Chains A and B, each alone.
Chain A
Amino acid sequence: GENVEQHPSTLSVQEGDSAVIKCTYSDSASNYFPWYKQELGKGPQLIIDIRSNVGEKKDQRIAVTLNKTAKHFSLHITETQPEDSAVYFCAPTSGGSYIPTFGRGTSLIVHP
């Protein structure tokens, strides 16, 4: 099965700083790479995703970069705000299984 590692497990930044979370996966058949945000008391919500034929995707302050050769993809958040504080999960999905494997999560804390 897919082995997924997500780093760091906790990330503390000051408001306005940038944050980067990295996800490493093992299955070379993975072809869909989403990032989910989970706020306290809520279920995870997709914030950005990328497919295997694209190297980078941006949506306002959020971006995802993919390195298929090295089997990792990263979430980049610029100009962080207190409302960005949450747990972020990567969930690479293999074309063979159709089921995402979630990373262990990164707790992002943005200090005002």
Chain B
Amino acid sequence: KAGVTQTPRYLIKTRGQQVTLSCSPISGHRSVSWYQQTPGQGLQFLFEYFSETQRNKGNFPGRFSGRQFSNSRSEMNVSTLELGDSALYLCASSLVWTENTEAFFGQGTRLTVV
């Protein structure tokens, strides 16, 4: 069974640009969540999608957005990139997102903003 796939693995962007990251969940999983991981702030929740609807959102500015497609694949977009957006972006999928559900993580996309 294939795991969570994130593309691309690495990205270098210039300040002010925008970027789109992709996540393909485990087959059959309908919930996809996104996290930002940095050495200073740890793992911070961005948002969660279930059946193409955003169900939960973390405390990030509106420059961070996402969506989920009918096949459960998800994308997140960051506009007007800032140096502080440099981070590892992790996607996690689960069968149904409840408080008692294991999250399966991808390997992440390492974004560097210069």
Contacts and interface: CB of A to CB of B under 8 A. Distances in A.
Contacts, number: 55
Contacts of A94: 99
B105 A99 contact: no
B100 A46 contact: no
Nearest to A44: B105
Contact of A89 (B43, B48, B56): B43
B105 A43 contact: yes
Contacts of A104: 42
Interface in B87-114: 90, 92, 97-108
Contacts of A32: 99-101
Nearest to B47: A99
A44 B90 contact: yes
A58 B18 CA distance: 46
